[in-house]
Amino acid sequence: MDVVHLRDHPWLGIFDWMLRGIGQVVFQNNALSGAVILFALFYNSWIYGSIAILGVAASTLAALALKADREMIKAGLFGFNGALVALCLVAFTSADFRTGAVPAPLMTVYIIFGSALSTIVMQAMATVLAPFRVAALTGPFVLVGWMFLFAVLKFENLDAGPLVKPISPEDFPDSIAYTLPTWYMGIGNAIGQIFFQDNWITGYLIILGIAINSRISAAMALIGAGVAALTAVISGGPEGAIRDGLFGYNAALTAMALCGVFLVANVQSVLYAIFGAIISTWLWASVAIFLGPIAMPVLTSAFVLVTWMMLLAQSGFKALSAMPPPDAPPPSDS
């Protein structure tokens, strides 16, 4: 069955929309990209792969139940935040961050509620940002993720373990030298960390999935993660955090968003994206330190904040051009 036609099938269509939802985490409205990325998650851990499906299903079904905009649902735009909420809640409540753990029944219900809530927050942010022609990005995931992680720590029947993952540069020793693996593992891990995957091979498989739909996006993801590693090295960030991809996952998303996704790819937007990637790297550290006292992870808040600012500003900067909406008439008609 052709993947493109699957999209409009009366009851099989949802599988296409869900795969696009996985792809939309990295801006790719393409079911095949989503399938490759899902495979990359399963390659690291079948638990994470399954949880991503649970999350994208819960948020997509919530959008259908609430009768949200059909075209947005079909483009996977109500799925990607749900997938991230589910992955996040499992990642930070599992004894082993790397493979995750199968959530208990009550925790599973909690995850489904969180993913469904991401659909409501997605629509709320889309409504607020619409006048400015700026996307909600992973803002809904960050907000719901923080809200739900805080609560999980305090309900006896939900608490599934301590946050075992280092989430701040302060958790890493300072004295380790940078080596070649700092770079190639750091860049791969940065891509993987977008999906909470602490596995650099998974990261490069995700790049492959992105490249199926957009070689520019794949290149910008690598450039963003590379710029982040370079920025962190020059600034003297701890080697462990760089190799773990922690400095880079926000920068990779920022670089993709600012060149080729929301802004037309050209020399100016490449420079703008590199600037954004550098800022995202420093900001990851800022937010990590800010959240330190309450032991919350940064998630993709640095990417969301920097990219919102840089996209909101774009309308005032004649050096940059926004991408036309997908269904816009050719410029000559407007």
CB of 298 to a second copy, least distance (A): 11
Q: With respect to a second copy, which residue has the nearer C-beta, 27 or 282?
A: 282
CB 283 within 8 A of CB 305: yes
Ranges within 267-306 binding a second copy (CB under 8 A): 275, 278-279, 282-283, 285-290, 292-294
Rounded distance, CA 315 to CA 306, Å? 15
Q: In this structure, which amino acid lies at residue 181?
A: P
CB of 206 to a second copy, least distance (A): 27
CB 299 within 8 A of CB 333: no
CB of 182 to a second copy, least distance (A): 15
CA angle 27, 40, 164 (to 5 degrees): 95
Largest CA distance in the chain: 62
- From the CB of residue 50, how many other CB atoms can be counted at a distance below 10 Å? 17
**Using the rule CB under 8 A, is 178 a contact of a second copy?**
no
Q: With respect to a second copy, which residue has the nearer C-beta, 34 or 139?
A: 139
Rounded distance, CA 231 to CA 218, Å? 20
Q: With respect to a second copy, which residue has the nearer C-beta, 49 or 103?
A: 103
CA angle 215, 223, 286 (to 5 degrees): 135
Q: With respect to a second copy, which residue has the nearer C-beta, 36 or 306?
A: 306
What is the DSSP code string of 46-88? HHHHHHHHHHHHHHHHHHHHTT--HHHHHTTTTTHHHHHHHHH
Q: With respect to a second copy, which residue has the nearer C-beta, 131 or 329?
A: 131
Ranges within 229-268 binding a second copy (CB under 8 A): 232, 234-237
Among 25-33, 43-51, 124-132, 221-229, the segment contacting a second copy (CB under 8 A): 124-132
**Using the rule CB under 8 A, is 308 a contact of a second copy?**
yes
Interface residue list for a second copy (CB under 8 A): 65-69, 106, 113, 116-117, 120-128, 131-132, 146-151, 153-158, 169-170, 174, 232, 234-237, 275, 278-279, 282-283, 285-290, 292-294, 308-310, 312-313, 315-320
